Amino acid sequence: MTAPGLAGRVALITGSSRGIGRAIALAFAAEGCSVVVNYRRSREEAEAVAREIEVGGPGRCMVFRADVSREEEAAALVEAAAARFGRLDILVNNAAIAGRREFLDITPADWQDMIASDLTSVFLCSRAALPHMLRAGWGRIINIASTSGMTGGTSGAHYAAAKGGVISLTRSMGREFASRGVTVNAIVPSKIETGMLDASFEDSAQKEAARKKMPVGRFGTPGEIAALAVFLASEPAGYITGETIVASGGY
């Protein structure tokens, strides 16, 4: 354990059956947190994450299926977490979808799906979690955005708009709840070695060309994003709120 103030906390990480979310769930568990693993489709992968966490101590993890883009399911997820562990201290809004599209190929349905999954979910989960944090006078909300939300990116205007919305929402929430013991920050990754990254390339040659453009000479790892999330949730980060922290390898 390296992050002061996290042992005994309860952390809920949306979309934590794989990729960045999985790494964050495992990192919080390693710091002594009880962890809620959320998934929408990947039940077996979510249960595998839970088994790995439970090795460090039985009863420290629960798995809960919810589509966090839906109000009722997001609320049910948060309430189940609070009921199981008696509190909810940390929320990491990680669940998201991606899908490269040219602007004129984006249908209204594509737009609605992206905004719901990548932006509305952050609002819904935060709205459900905040009352628990405010009653306790302490909380951490960490939103996983993307450099596409700052630069426009290459994955499509719908994705950029959703992630840009997450960044703006973070700033607004950070300001509003700063005086009440809750910090809200965004982590903005770029080119992290996950299945979502692999799916964004047509072939290995295209992926290698992208890697060569990275100033640090490689893609990031989920563990590096997880370490940043752990820091933002720790006591030493209590003066940081409403911020957008870029982890892009200089890209």
Tokens of 156: 């499509």
Q: Are strands 244-247 and 182-189 parallel, antiparallel or unpaired?
A: parallel
Report d(CA 151, CA 142) in Å as an integer: 21
Q: Are strands 61-65 and 182-189 parallel, antiparallel or unpaired?
A: unpaired
159 flagged as catalytic: yes
Q: Give the largest Cα separation in the chain, rounded.
A: 52
Nearest to 71 by CA among 131, 123, 19, 15: 123
Question: What are the two backbone dihedrals, phi and then psi, of residue 185, each rounded to the nearest 5 degrees?
Answer: -135, 160
Element (H, E) at 21: helix 19-30
Report d(CA 74, CA 86) in Å as an integer: 18
DSSP 8-state secondary structure symbol assigned to residue 102: -
Question: What is the Cα 155 distance to its own chain's centre?
Answer: 18
| Order of strands, sheet of 10-13, starting from the edge strand that comes earlier in the sequence | 61-65, 34-39, 10-13, 90-93, 139-144, 182-189, 244-247
Residue carrying structure tokens 């609320």:
75
Report d(CA 131, CA 120) in Å as an integer: 18
Q: 2 pairs with which residues across the strands?
A: none
Q: Mind telling me the catalytic residues? A: 159
